[in-house]
Amino acid sequence: MIDPATVKWLQVEATSKCNAWCPGCSRNKNGYELADGLVIEDLNNERFEDVLRMFPNLETVDFCGTFGDAVAAHNIKSLIDLAKQYSKKILIRTNGSLRDIVWWTQFANLLKGHSHEVWFCLDGLADTHSMYRQGTDFDKIIKNATTFISAGGTAVWQFIPWAHNEHQIKDCIKLSQELKFKRFELVRSVRSNFNARDYVTGDPYEIQPWSMDQKMNPLTFVKHRVDEENCMHLRLPSMYLNASGKLNVCCFFNQAHADNDIDKLMDIPTKLANQNLAPQVCKNHCGTTEQ
């Protein structure tokens, strides 16, 4: 079972709200209409602090989005204040097109003096970015990011490659350097084999995988194994807190089996002890093909 004293990393779903309509996202139907049963909510401050207190040796709080964008939470600043009290480093991952330059200046000041990174999801240049990040505005993201950087914030450019934007990787790396992003991170998408739909009309359109991605054939998933090399939870003791305040061992398990009581959760190593019985979600999202 999980020993709270060993947990170093806490993934946090600050909200289930988001302005984007990315195909393949759990919050919508491949880009069009919200998923059935989705509850729109922000993480409660009191519950968040209760969870933070559970982990005396916590190092990193990672505001990641499975159903929402952390910046969309009405109380994100107070959640950040709490995270600063209980962790050494804060990560925030966002599509970056919410709020304005005044807010982003204030946000940089809030994080100043505490180790942090804000990952801005920029999947291409102005002509390609919103083909996947539907509902977002490239120019506004750049404006928000550069405002944040100028105010003393630490920003990372996150890029998910697809067939429609892979030709722009080098140009985006160059631009990220010119705009003084701390670094450029190429992140392979775990969202594959879906039928994209336009978020306004619902009309289907195609998103082709990155030419270098070897993970798109679902028939190979049964041959995948999960080990420390490709599972952060095996490398680093960590937990996931969803927007309703329930804990789980990983964001990919999401609402399923989430609980308020950490003692009722089985840890990742136990789940993966027998690779033949490893959860399919682990193999699909984080597995590598067995040699």
The partner residues of 158 in beta bridges, in order of sequence, read 121, 185
Q: Is residue 157 part of a domain?
A: yes
Q: What is the pLDDT of residue 217?
A: 45
Quote the pLDDT of residue 101. Answer: 98
Q: Identify the pLDDT of residue 274.
A: 65
pLDDT tens track, the chain, 291 positions: 688 999 999 999 999 999 999 998 989 999 999 999 999 999 999 999 999 999 999 999 999 988 999 999 999 999 999 999 999 999 999 999 999 999 999 999 999 999 999 999 999 999 999 999 999 999 999 999 999 999 999 999 999 999 999 999 999 999 999 999 999 999 877 666 578 999 999 999 989 888 886 554 444 445 567 777 777 777 888 899 999 999 988 877 766 567 777 777 777 777 776 666 566 777 767 766 654
Query: What pLDDT was estimated at residue 218?
Result: 46
CATH of the domain at 186: 3.20.20.70
H-state helical runs in the chain: 45-54, 76-86, 101-111, 129-132, 138-150, 169-178, 232-235, 268-271, 280-286
For the CA atoms of 259, 261, 264, 267, the dihedral, rounded to the nearest 10 degrees, stands at: 80
Structural domain count, the chain: 1
Structural domain span for residue 107: 4-212+232-267
Beta-strand runs (E) in 142-272 = 155-159, 183-186, 224-225, 238-241, 247-248
Q: Is residue 184 part of a domain?
A: yes
Q: Which of 24, 18, 27, 49 is nearest to 191 (CA)?
A: 24
* The model's pTM: 0.91
Is 53 inside a domain boundary?
A: yes
Q: Is residue 224 part of a domain?
A: no
Whether 220 is covered by a domain: the verdict is: no
Rounded Cα–Cα distance for residues 89 and 60 (Å):
5
Q: Which amino acid is at 56?
A: P
Beta bridge pairs of residue 94 = 120
239 falls within a domain: yes
Phi, psi of 255, rounded to the nearest 5 degrees: -70, -30
Return the SS3 of 19.
coil
Give the DSSP letter of residue 23. Answer: T
208 in a structural domain:
yes
Within a domain: 197: yes
What pLDDT does residue 261 have?
76
> Rounded to the nearest 5 degrees, what angle is found at the Cα of 225, between the Cα atoms of 220 and 227?
150
SS3 assignment, position 76: helix
Tell me what pLDDT residue 288 has: 66
